[in-house]
Structures are given as C-alpha cells and as structure tokens.
C-alpha cells in the first residue's frame, strides 16, 4: 500500500514554539537591540522589524571536541604534485587544512555575530513589554480598530445574499443573444428559403420536395440548438462586492513639548521619547493624517525637526511657559481646532524658573486645554517642584489632562490610562 | 530477528516496454507522482531492493526548514536550539545562500519521505528514487540500523517525548527544563551505548515502565548514597580502595541517569529521552558515506534503467543528472569550495567501483579483491550495504583504482614537527596507508574524544571524575570547561576531568565545583 500525503496545509509554523524559546533565552540582548533601535529611529518609523545581533559565543552549545595539537593524519582528495615524504609549511591560523569537521570554525572567537530579523510584531511586543502595557491596549494598538464596509462594484463570486438579480439577468440576456446570433441568422435565412421553396413548389416536383424536407429538418435542428442555450448560466451571476476599509477619523496634530535644558540627560530624553512614541502609536490608530510638531525649550522655545528635538543639547535655565506660548501661536497660525484634533504631550524634568510655573498653569487652563482633545504631562524625575504642584491643580477640573511621574519605561503608560480606556471602550 | 530476504543474483527482466515515456511537464501533480512512483517501485523490485513501506509527503519549503531545524524529525520536543537552527536555515535560504536539500527521509516504519512543493516533476522522481528506495532500503538492511534503531516506534517515542517535556515545562517552569536540556545536549554524543544492544519497546511498554522506573531509580540512588552507618566498621578498610563504578563507563548520560544523586524523577526521564534520541541517531553518524552513497548509487541506477526501458524523456534525464552531478562534485584540496571529503561523492564512487570490480575486474582488482572480482554484482553490493559501517566499509572496499581516481593522499600533522608531512599518496607503497588512514577518519571513536566515567568519590565530597583517553596525543578543545559545568549541573556535585595520554599519565586536569543549589 503506497501513500502520498499532502502535508502542506497541516503543521504550518511548527517552529514557532522553538523560536519563542530562542527569543526568550536572548531576551536581554533583544531588549538592548530594541532600545538602541528606538533611540535611532524617528517616531513615525517605529513600526518596523529589526536585525538583532547576538555574539556567536552566547549561542554556542558546547560539546567535548578535539582541539589543535597532537598527531593526526588526514586524507584529502585531489593530489596535484605531492609525493610521499614531502614536507609542507603548516598553514597559519585556525583550522588550516581543515579536517572537514567544521569544528574549528564553529567555535572560533571573533566570528561574525549570529544575526536574525525580529519581525515587526515581535519588535512591538518587546517595546510594549518595556512599557508594561496592559494586554487589551496591546491588541488595540496592534490592529486598526474600526472598519467600514464599502461598495466596490460587482464581482463574479460572492454569497447568494449579495446576488444582484438585474445585473445577472442582463448578463444572461446578452450571453444568450451573443451565443445564439449565428444560429438565429442561419435559421432566418433557412426559413426564408423554405417559404420561397413552398411558394414555388409545383406538385410532383420531387427535387423541391426533397429540398423542403431537408430544410425542415435543418430548421428543426437549429431550433433545438438555439433552445439548448441555457437561460441562466453560472457565469452570468453577478454579486455586489463589498470591501472593508479602515476608517481613521480625519486628522490630528500632536505637539511634542520637551525641556532640553542641561538637566535633561540622555536617559531622560529616552524616556520622553518613549512617551511620545506611545501617544503617536495611539493616534495612528485613530486618525488618517497625523502631523507632528516638535517644540523644545530651555529659556526660549523653538520649533525644530525631530532629529534636533531628540539629539541636540542645550544648557541654561528653564522657562516652560515659552513652549506653551509657542504652541498656542502655532495652533492659531496653522491648526484650526475646528479642523484638527489637537493632542499635546509634554515632557520635562520638572525644573522650572519658579515665577513661571503659575503662568504655565494659567496658560494651560485658559488657552490650551480648551483647544486640546487631550494633554499629557510626564515628569521624568522624581522630586516634586513647583511646576508639579501647579499642574496638579489642573487635574480636578480638566478630565482631558493627565500627568504622571516616570523614572522608567514601565511607568509611562499610566499617564495615558484614561485616554486608552475611553477610546478602547468606544472601539469595543 | 526476521530472516532477511535473499539478494537477487541478477536483475529481473522488464515486464513490458511502455508505448511512450511518462509525461514530463515541469509541474508535478498527484497523479503524475503516483505514475512515476509506480514505475520506480517496479524498477526497484527488479533489483530486489527490500524496503519498509513508503509514505510520500508533500510539504512546503517552510515545513522543510522546520524539519531541518528539529534534526530532521517530524515531531520533537521544544528547545531553543532548534529555534536557532530554524532561524539560521531560514536566513540562508532567503538570501539564497543555500538551496534546501531536496529530500529528508525518516527512518521509520512506514518510511516517510518529504517531497518539497517547489520541486519539479523530474526532481520529485529523483527524490523518490533516492530517499524512498535508496535510503529506505539502507535503513531496513544495514546491521547498525537493525541493531540500534527501532523504526516502528520512533515517531511514537518522539510524540511521547514532546508531550513529556511540555508537561515538565508546565510543572517545573520553562527555565528549569531549558537549562536541564542544555546540559543533557552537551553530553548527547556521550550518551550512546556503543557495544550493547538496547531492548526494543513499544510506546505502551515505555509508558507503563516509566513510573516503575522513576520509583526504582530513585530507590537505587538513595541506596547508593545511604548515610546510615550500616556495616560502617567492616566497610572502612575495603572501600578505601574500591572505585565506583567498578569499570569505567563510556555512556555518561546513562551513568548520570542511574546514579546522579540529586536528580528528581522528571529530570532522570529527560536524561533518558535525550539519550534515546542520541542513540537513535548514532547509526546515522556512523554510516554517512555508506548511506548517502547507497541512495545516490540507486537513484542513478534506477533512473538510468528507467530511461533505458523507455520510461523517461531526455528532458527529465538532463534535469536530474544536473542535480546529480552537483551532489557528487568533489572539489580538490585547496579549492575555495573544499571542505573535506564529500560523503555523497565518495560513497557513490565506491558502490559504483564495487559493481565495476564484479563486472570488469582487472588484474589489480583480482589481487586486491579475490572474493569480489567476477562475482554477481547485486549480491556483492547487498552484502556491502548490510554488514559494514563507514570505517569498515572503506577499510574493506576502497580500491587502488579509486584512490588513483580521487587522487587521495594523507597528510600527517604532528605538533612536535614544524612542518606537515605527506605520509602517503595513491601509489603502490601508499595504498594501504591511505586506505587505513581514511578508514580511521570515519571511526567515531577517533573523531570524538573518548571520555569515560572513571570514579566517584563516595566517601568524601561525592565529586565525579571523568577521564579523557587521548587519541594520538590530541588534546581536548577549550570548550571542555563549559561542558564540565553542564556535567556538574547534572551530577549535582563537583566534577573533575583528567586527560590521560598514551603512557597513562594525566597530562591535564580540569575541575569544576559543585553548582550552587537554587
């Protein structure tokens, strides 16, 4: 008994479990790589895979093996001109002549790293884990939440409930006309000829009678053929075609405000960046078009591009209100609140010129918060200074204002908790 | 053991020449595969190839990589190293650095051969002839496979192993199982019995015995490590000199499974699983040249016969011959592509040469192979397949003519000398030396270090001493320390390794302390 089994559909991705175990084992390296990648990438460019490099020695599996040295004799093919007793200089370095066991090259130091690609999903997974996102939010961010079903013309296959009767019948009719045309023309000619014959028939004219008989038979055959053309054929059927399209709601602008005074070191900037990325990811799920505005400030605020925003360093004091004023100006000039959904994200170490903090609160309360859909503030340092106190007063009256202290990535998410919860509930 | 069917003296005659050759479109279909398979089977039967029943399976490239990654088996327990293997394979494949081997065949009953979806019809025919008749008959016939592997139960066993390991992961945590498997894998090559034949067991027996075994093993171990002062006075003198184990043991994993004092029952079972799987692959490691050579010889013979009989078109022939030529290409030493002797090339050349010696012996052949020259080739080949492993096969059958053709020569690399020396070449003075040397090269005993359990310090710190018996003064690789850490993790106490040279002196010592208990 012989068998041929088609396994192609069964057991896809059998190695997933093994891959997961491999990733799990090298979690630290992968984390590092993801962290580096986030540092190096633009906010808009986050959702991509990444190549991970792992040093060969970290993934080697040691076994007992022979090292260099001792006496060994190896047989090689393809002798060109050696005779017994010839002496050859020992090749330098490594396995040299190579015994063909591949041992030497597997274990050698200074080998290339083991490189593999982390998929986009896996990359985001690590990123989310770092941020300690709840699972519900992860799935929410991982897929486009809303779909709309939209007409997209007609197609030749579909379900019966989408059958378009008029189109189908029209198709059937034209097919019947097209298929029967030749036969019907011939039929008409024959009938005409038959009538002609009958008219000219002289009784006893055997020749014409025979022709009439023949004509009648042919006409009969043609009628049958025309009658055999099906009234409705499966190829006539037309269905209304509907496709699902994502429905992002219009457009949004996201303001990233960051303190770049001397006290903001790389670590704090990195935290801030994650904070911005998270909001950006959230917005990409809900808006078709997102603009990013980067405003950095020390004593003065300036609108800059992303590269300068994260990587340039300035020193000096801090006047937070300068950034808020600039934000308001930009909104007035370019982003009318009637057209744009405005989101604000501010990161700072909480250090501010003390006379300025009250002004910041007023600016936010009176000017900016009424314009914004949501405004989140993250303080990437622990000590509470006057800015924190002033901002705290805003929490009570403004439901769309959130603030949080974060000293590590996992503490960032809570600032958005309300935002995600609200939107999540809507989407569900 | 079943009585083996007698090899045919001569190939049977062809039943009937076909009116026209088999259709040869480049795309395969199930009907076509069946048609080709029928002819290949009929042709193989004419040569008396004795095989397990065949099961052909169509798989995708990704599934082929899956199979690659899990040591060629359709099921296996989960481990990160297989993930690593898969990632590496996938990367190479995607970059086009390698084509996938076009076949994987599993030594099971029925014998499973994988046909990859992407192959053309001609390639599928090649794979069927190579795997389903070549390898399959080797698995069924070769004495090592008959003795060491149980084709009927291997798949069942691996399913059991997979479930057991995943149950352990659930119960004891992924990390515990993973580190433990790492340690077992480090010793897998030293977890085989080389001389003793294991008893065959079905899955049901295996399961039924597991519980008994766990309980019993634990009791034995406890007995061994009894601390009660039973017969303390009497033992004191005698035990001083007594070594445990009485005889050195070569199967490190077996020794650990039975004697490691601190292992829990599930850990012993995992040691056993790794050991069993290693044992299953042991014959394959010893018969690479023979096995690949045999399969290559037979796909060549079968497809050529089919062509002569009028079953194959010229196009099909050209296509498989191209692959065939690539497979048996042997780059000469010094060539950039050279990486040792190609087992396909050597094996194919040797079987072809045996057939030649039978059919057209020269004077030289009559002198070297008096029992072989001029005898019918089918039984001669059959004998050569059944009763040897690479080492003895080469020692027995490598002919002077073939050595000349391959231009084989031996180089001695002696650490004490500043230069390498060409110790023998393919001439009258050198034939025997080259042949012996090549034969030794395929002796697993000399390829892998000989490491044995030497002693356990029963009365002191319970440390385990292993001994490495040097072969031609060859030292151990630096990874030995890493491996010893794994041994210590399994053993639970300190481990020493002594490297002993030919004179019996310990030339080097490694020592690893007991692992921290956690």
CB atoms within 10 A of CB A357: 21
Q: Look up residue B506 and give its DSSP letter.
A: E
Residues in chain A with CB shorter than 8 Å from the CB of B127 are none
Q: In this complex, do B91 and A117 lie within 8 Å of one another by their Cβ atoms?
A: yes
Flag whether residue A78 sits within 8 Å of chain B, measured between CB atoms: yes
Q: Which SS3 state, helix, strand or coil, does residue A249 take?
A: coil
> Which of B251, B260, B255, B268 lies closest to B225, judged by CA?
B260
Q: Look up residue A368 and give its DSSP letter.
A: I
Residues A206 and A295 in one domain: no
- CA dist., res. B407 & res. A77, Å (int): 5
Flag whether residue A114 sits within 8 Å of chain B, measured between CB atoms: yes
pLDDT tens-digit readout, B46-95: 999 999 999 999 988 888 888 877 777 878 899 988 888 888 888 777 76
State the best of A8, A18, A90, A103 to mutate against chain B, taking most chain B CBs within 10 Å.
Answer: A18
State the best of B63, B168, B473 to mutate against chain A, taking most chain A CBs within 10 Å.
Answer: B63
- CA dist., res. B154 & res. B149, Å (int): 8
Residues A270 and A408 in one domain: yes
Residues in chain A with CB shorter than 8 Å from the CB of B483 are 62-64
Crossing angle of the two packed helices A27-40 and A120-131, in degrees rounded to 10:
90
Residues A227 and A255 in one domain: no
* pLDDT at B6 (0 to 100): 60
Q: Look up residue B418 and give its DSSP letter.
A: S
Q: Which SS3 state, helix, strand or coil, does residue B417 take?
A: coil
pLDDT of residue A366 exceeding 80, the answer is yes
* pLDDT at A140 (0 to 100): 59
- CA dist., res. B516 & res. B488, Å (int): 10
Boundary of a domain, candidates A210, A240, A270: A240
Residue A204: half-sphere exposure toward Cβ, Cα within 13 Å: 0
Cα nearest neighbour of A11 on chain B: B63
- CA dist., res. A113 & res. A56, Å (int): 5
Q: In this complex, do B425 and A84 lie within 8 Å of one another by their Cβ atoms?
A: yes
pLDDT of residue B481 exceeding 50, the answer is yes
Interface confidence, given as ipTM, is 0.81
DSSP string, A136-163: HHHHHHHS---EEEEEEEEES---GGGB
The contacts of residue B478 (CB under 8 Å, 6+ apart) are A67, A107
Q: In this complex, do B186 and A61 lie within 8 Å of one another by their Cβ atoms?
A: yes
Across the interface, of A72, A75, A116, the residue whose CB is closest to B413 is A72
Question: pLDDT class for B360, splitting at 50, 70, 90?
Answer: very high
Distance from the A3 Cα atom to the nearest Cα atom in chain B, whole angstroms: 5
> B473 or A238: whose pLDDT is higher?
A238
- CA dist., res. B306 & res. B61, Å (int): 29
* pLDDT at A153 (0 to 100): 86
Q: In this complex, do B91 and A15 lie within 8 Å of one another by their Cβ atoms?
A: no
Residues A258 and A236 in one domain: no
> Which of A419, A339, A317, A337 lies closest to A377, judged by CA?
A419
Distance from the B19 Cα atom to the nearest Cα atom in chain A, whole angstroms: 25
- Choose the most confident range, by mean pLDDT, from A159-163, A333-337, A370-374, B125-129: B125-129
* pLDDT at A408 (0 to 100): 82
Instruction: Report yes or no on A4 lying in a domain.
Output: no
Residues in chain B with CB shorter than 8 Å from the CB of A83 are 422, 425, 427
Per-residue b or e along B217-243, where b marks 16 or more CB atoms closer than 10 Å to that residue's CB: beeebeeeeeeeeeeeeeeeeeeeeee
Chain A segment 1-60 residues within 8 A of B by beta carbon are 1-8, 11-15, 17-25, 59-60
- CA dist., res. A209 & res. A199, Å (int): 12
pLDDT of residue A285 exceeding 50, the answer is yes
pLDDT of residue B391 exceeding 50, the answer is yes
* Tokens encoding A34: 């993801």
> Which of B303, B268, B291 lies closest to B72, judged by CA?
B291
- CA dist., res. A27 & res. A12, Å (int): 25
State the best of B41, B67, B80, B274 to mutate against chain A, taking most chain A CBs within 10 Å.
Answer: B80
- CA dist., res. B301 & res. A169, Å (int): 62
pLDDT of residue B327 exceeding 80, the answer is yes
* Tokens encoding A358: 């009250």
Cα nearest neighbour of B58 on chain A: A6
Residues A228 and A262 in one domain: no
Residues in chain A with CB shorter than 8 Å from the CB of B412 are 71-73
Of chain B, the percentage scoring pLDDT greater than 90 comes to 48
Q: Length of chain A in residues, anyone?
A: 428
Strands A341-348 vs A374-379: parallel, antiparallel or unpaired: parallel
Please identify which residue in the block is written with the tokens 């995607």: B94
Of chain B, the percentage scoring pLDDT greater than 70 comes to 89
Q: In this complex, do B410 and A7 lie within 8 Å of one another by their Cβ atoms?
A: no
* pLDDT at A403 (0 to 100): 84
Residues in chain B with CB shorter than 8 Å from the CB of A18 are 69-70, 78-80, 82-83, 86
Q: In this complex, do A73 and B79 lie within 8 Å of one another by their Cβ atoms?
A: no
* Strands (DSSP E) found in B17-137: 54-59, 103-106, 111-116
Residues A392 and A359 in one domain: yes
Cα nearest neighbour of A70 on chain B: B474
Across the interface, of B69, B475, B483, the residue whose CB is closest to A67 is B475
Across the interface, of B53, B78, B190, the residue whose CB is closest to A18 is B78
pLDDT tens-digit readout, B154-173: 889 999 999 999 999 999 99
Boundary of a domain, candidates A179, A205, A240: A240
Flag whether residue A117 sits within 8 Å of chain B, measured between CB atoms: yes
pLDDT tens-digit readout, A80-125: 888 888 888 887 644 444 333 333 333 333 446 788 888 877 887 7
pLDDT of residue B518 exceeding 60, the answer is no
Instruction: Report yes or no on A67 lying in a domain.
Output: no
Question: pLDDT class for B432, splitting at 50, 70, 90?
Answer: very high
Instruction: Report yes or no on A141 lying in a domain.
Output: no
Q: In this complex, do A15 and B186 lie within 8 Å of one another by their Cβ atoms?
A: no
Cα nearest neighbour of A106 on chain B: B479
- CA dist., res. B468 & res. B90, Å (int): 37
Burial (Cβ within 10 Å: 0-12, 13-18, ≥19) of residue A67: middle
- CA dist., res. B380 & res. B8, Å (int): 10
Q: In this complex, do B174 and A90 lie within 8 Å of one another by their Cβ atoms?
A: no
Residues A337 and A408 in one domain: yes
Question: pLDDT class for B220, splitting at 50, 70, 90?
Answer: low
The contacts of residue B156 (CB under 8 Å, 6+ apart) are B202, B203
Flag whether residue A182 sits within 8 Å of chain B, measured between CB atoms: no
* pLDDT at A241 (0 to 100): 87
Query: Are the beta carbons of A343 and A327 closer than 8 angstroms?
Result: no
Q: In this complex, do A64 and B413 lie within 8 Å of one another by their Cβ atoms?
A: no
Query: Are the beta carbons of A164 and A238 closer than 8 angstroms?
Result: yes
Question: pLDDT class for B225, splitting at 50, 70, 90?
Answer: low
> Which of B450, B77, B487 lies closest to B269, judged by CA?
B77
* pLDDT at B198 (0 to 100): 53
Across the interface, of B55, B425, B468, the residue whose CB is closest to A79 is B425
Q: In this complex, do A4 and B58 lie within 8 Å of one another by their Cβ atoms?
A: yes
Flag whether residue A81 sits within 8 Å of chain B, measured between CB atoms: no
The contacts of residue B244 (CB under 8 Å, 6+ apart) are B455, B456, B458
Say how many domains are in chain A.
Answer: 3
Query: Are the beta carbons of A239 and A155 closer than 8 angstroms?
Result: yes
Residues A213 and A269 in one domain: no
The CB-based long-range contact list for A173-179 (8 Å cut-off, 24+ gap) reads A175/A233, A175/A235, A175/A236, A176/A229, A176/A231, A179/A229
Mean pLDDT of all residues belonging to chain A: 79
pLDDT of residue A425 exceeding 50, the answer is no
Q: In this complex, do B57 and A59 lie within 8 Å of one another by their Cβ atoms?
A: no
Residues in chain A with CB shorter than 8 Å from the CB of B425 are 79, 82-84
Question: Which residue segment(s) compose the domain that A339 sits in?
Answer: 251-427
Query: Are the beta carbons of B353 and B402 closer than 8 angstroms?
Result: yes
Strands A341-348 vs A251-259: parallel, antiparallel or unpaired: parallel
Query: Are the beta carbons of B38 and B133 closer than 8 angstroms?
Result: no
* pLDDT at A103 (0 to 100): 35
Q: In this complex, do A21 and B332 lie within 8 Å of one another by their Cβ atoms?
A: no
CATH number of the domain to which A389 belongs: 3.40.50.410
Instruction: Report yes or no on A137 lying in a domain.
Output: no
Q: Which of B160-174, B301-315, B357-371, B469-483 has the lowest mean pLDDT?
A: B469-483
Q: Which of A404-408, B22-26, B112-116 has the lowest mean pLDDT?
A: A404-408
Residues A183 and A258 in one domain: no
* pLDDT at A97 (0 to 100): 42
Query: Are the beta carbons of A288 and A251 closer than 8 angstroms?
Result: yes
- Centroid of chain to Cα A125: 13
Please identify which residue in the block is written with the tokens 């393809």: A78
Instruction: Report yes or no on A220 lying in a domain.
Output: yes
- Interval A357-384 mean pLDDT: 86
Across the interface, of A6, A68, A71, the residue whose CB is closest to B58 is A6
Cα nearest neighbour of B34 on chain A: A4
* Tokens encoding B4: 């083996």
* pLDDT at B424 (0 to 100): 92
From residue B373, how far is each of A262, B11, B384 by CA, in Å?
91, 18, 14
- Interval B360-373 mean pLDDT: 93
DSSP3 helix / strand / coil % (chain A, rounded to 5): 45, 20, 35
Q: Look up residue B502 and give its DSSP letter.
A: T
Query: Are the beta carbons of B103 and B131 closer than 8 angstroms?
Result: yes
Instruction: Report yes or no on A78 lying in a domain.
Output: no
Instruction: Report yes or no on A76 lying in a domain.
Output: no
Q: In this complex, do B407 and A77 lie within 8 Å of one another by their Cβ atoms?
A: yes
Boundary of a domain, candidates A209, A240, A271: A240
Residues in chain B with CB shorter than 8 Å from the CB of A78 are 330-335, 338, 406-407
What ranges in B95-246 are assigned the alpha helix state H?
121-127, 136-141, 143-148, 154-172, 174-186, 203-224, 232-241
pLDDT of residue A58 exceeding 70, the answer is yes
Question: Distance between terminal CA atoms of chain A?
Answer: 55
Instruction: Report yes or no on A71 lying in a domain.
Output: no
Q: In this complex, do A15 and B470 lie within 8 Å of one another by their Cβ atoms?
A: no
Q: Which of B243-252, B294-303, B404-413 has the lowest mean pLDDT?
A: B243-252
Question: Distance between terminal CA atoms of chain B?
Answer: 49
Residues A234 and A169 in one domain: yes
The contacts of residue B360 (CB under 8 Å, 6+ apart) are none
Of chain A, the percentage scoring pLDDT greater than 70 comes to 86
Query: Are the beta carbons of B391 and B443 closer than 8 angstroms?
Result: yes
Crossing angle of the two packed helices B390-397 and B288-308, in degrees rounded to 10:
60
Flag whether residue A338 sits within 8 Å of chain B, measured between CB atoms: no
Residues A269 and A415 in one domain: yes
Query: Are the beta carbons of A392 and A403 closer than 8 angstroms?
Result: yes
Sheet strands side by side (includes A401-405): A301-304, A289-297, A251-259, A341-348, A374-379, A401-405
Residue B314: half-sphere exposure toward Cβ, Cα within 13 Å: 0
Across the interface, of A6, A59, A86, the residue whose CB is closest to B84 is A59
Residues A53 and A127 in one domain: yes
pLDDT of residue B120 exceeding 70, the answer is yes
* Tokens encoding B219: 């009791």
pLDDT of residue A343 exceeding 60, the answer is yes
Bridge partners, A4 (sequence order): B56
């Amino acid at each position: 008994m012989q068998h041929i089994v088609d396994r192609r559909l069964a057991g896809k991705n059998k190695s997933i479990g093994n891959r997961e175990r491999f990733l799990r084992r090298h979690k630290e390296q992968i984390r590092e790589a993801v962290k580096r990648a986030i540092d190096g990438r633009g906010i808009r460019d986050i959702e991509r895979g990444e190549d991970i490099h792992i040093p060969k020695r970290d993934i080697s599996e040691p076994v007992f093996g022979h090292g260099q040295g001792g006496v060994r004799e190896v047989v090689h093919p393809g002798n060109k001109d050696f005779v017994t007793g010839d002496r050859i200089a020992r090749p330098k370095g490594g396995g040299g002549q190579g015994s063909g066991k591949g041992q030497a090259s597997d274990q050698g130091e200074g080998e290339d790293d083991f490189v593999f690609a982390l998929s986009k999903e896996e990359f985001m997974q690590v990123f989310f884990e770092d941020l300690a996102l709840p699972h519900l939010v992860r799935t929410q961010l991982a897929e486009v939440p809303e779909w709309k079903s939209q007409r997209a013309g007609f197609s030749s296959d579909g379900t019966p409930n989408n059958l378009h009767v008029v189109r189908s019948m029209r198709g059937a009719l034209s097919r019947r006309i097209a298929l029967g045309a030749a036969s019907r023309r011939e039929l008409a000619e024959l009938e005409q000829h038959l009538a002609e014959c009958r008219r000219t028939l002289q009784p006893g004219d055997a020749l014409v009678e025979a022709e009439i008989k023949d004509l009648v038979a042919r006409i009969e055959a043609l009628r049958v053929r025309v009658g055999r053309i099906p009234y409705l054929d499966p190829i006539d059927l037309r269905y209304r075609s509907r496709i699902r399209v994502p429905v992002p709601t219009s457009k949004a602008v996201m303001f990233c405000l960051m303190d770049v005074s001397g006290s903001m070191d790389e670590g704090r900037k990195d935290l801030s960046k994650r904070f911005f990325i998270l909001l950006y990811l959230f917005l990409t799920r809900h808006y078709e078009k997102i603009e990013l505005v980067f405003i950095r400030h020390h004593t003065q605020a300036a609108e800059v591009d992303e590269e300068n925003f994260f990587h340039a360093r300035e020193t000096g004091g801090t006047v937070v209100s300068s950034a808020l004023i600039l934000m308001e100006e930009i909104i007035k000039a370019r982003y009318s609140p009637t057209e744009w959904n405005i989101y604000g994200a501010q990161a700072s170490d909480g250090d501010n010129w003390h006379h300025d903090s009250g002004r910041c609160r007023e600016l936010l309360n009176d000017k900016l918060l009424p314009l914004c859909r949501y405004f989140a503030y993250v303080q990437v340092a622990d000590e509470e200074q006057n800015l924190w106190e002033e901002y705290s007063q805003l929490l009570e009256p403004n439901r769309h204002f959130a603030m949080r202290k974060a000293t590590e990535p996992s503490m960032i998410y809570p600032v958005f908790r309300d935002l995600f919860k609200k939107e999540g509930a809507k989407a569900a | 053991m079943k009585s083996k069917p007698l090899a045919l003296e001569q190939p049977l005659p062809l039943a009937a020449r076909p009116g026209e050759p088999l259709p040869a479109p480049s795309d395969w279909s199930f009907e076509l595969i069946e048609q080709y398979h029928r002819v290949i089977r009929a042709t193989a039967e004419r040569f008396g190839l004795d095989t397990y029943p065949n099961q052909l399976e169509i798989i995708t490239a990704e599934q082929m990589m899956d199979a690659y990654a899990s040591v060629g088996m359709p099921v296996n327990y989960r481990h990160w190293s297989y993930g690593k293997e898969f990632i590496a394979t996938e990367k190479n494949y995607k970059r086009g650095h390698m084509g996938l081997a076009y076949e994987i065949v599993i030594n099971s009953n029925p014998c499973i051969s994988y046909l990859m979806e992407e192959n053309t019809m001609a390639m599928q025919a090649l794979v069927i002839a190579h795997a389903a008749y070549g390898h399959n008959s080797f698995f069924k016939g070769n004495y090592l496979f008959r003795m060491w592997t149980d084709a009927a139960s291997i798949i069942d066993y691996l399913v059991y192993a997979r479930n057991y390991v995943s149950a352990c992961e659930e119960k004891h945590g992924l990390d515990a199982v993973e580190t433990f498997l790492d340690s077992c894998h480090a010793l897998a090559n030293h977890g085989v019995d080389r001389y003793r034949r294991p008893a065959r067991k079905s899955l049901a027996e295996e399961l039924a015995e597991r519980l008994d075994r766990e309980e019993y093993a634990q009791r034995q171990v406890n007995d061994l490590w009894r601390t009660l002062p039973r017969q303390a006075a009497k033992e004191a003198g005698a035990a001083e000199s007594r070594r445990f184990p009485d005889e050195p043991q070569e199967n490190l994993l077996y020794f650990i499974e039975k004697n490691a004092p601190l292992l829990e029952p599930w850990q012993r079972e995992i040691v056993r699983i790794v050991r069993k799987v290693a044992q299953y692959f042991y014959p394959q490691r010893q018969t690479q040249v023979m096995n690949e050579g045999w399969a290559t010889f037979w796909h060549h013979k079968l497809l050529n016969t089919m062509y002569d009989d009028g079953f194959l078109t010229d196009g099909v022939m050209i296509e498989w011959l191209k692959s065939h030529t690539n497979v048996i290409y042997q780059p000469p030493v010094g060539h950039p592509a050279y990486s040792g002797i190609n087992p396909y090339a050597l094996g194919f050349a040797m079987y072809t040469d045996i057939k030649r010696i039978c059919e057209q012996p020269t004077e030289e052949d009559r002198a070297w192979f008096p029992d072989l020259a001029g005898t019918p080739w089918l039984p001669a080949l059959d004998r050569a397949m059944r009763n040897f492993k690479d080492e003895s096969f080469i020692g027995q059958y490598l002919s002077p003519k073939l050595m000349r053709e391959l231009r084989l020569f031996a180089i001695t690399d002696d650490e004490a000398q500043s230069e390498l020396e060409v110790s023998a070449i393919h001439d009258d003075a050198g034939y025997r030396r080259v042949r012996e040397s090549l034969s030794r090269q395929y002796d697993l005993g000399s390829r892998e270090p000989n490491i044995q359990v030497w002693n356990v310090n029963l009365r002191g710190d319970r440390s385990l001493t292993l001994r490495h018996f040097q072969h031609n003064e060859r030292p151990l690789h630096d990874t030995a320390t890493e491996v010893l850490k794994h041994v210590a993790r399994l053993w639970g106490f300190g481990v020493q390794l002594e490297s002993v040279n030919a004179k019996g002196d310990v030339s080097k010592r490694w020592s690893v302390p007991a692992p921290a208990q956690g």
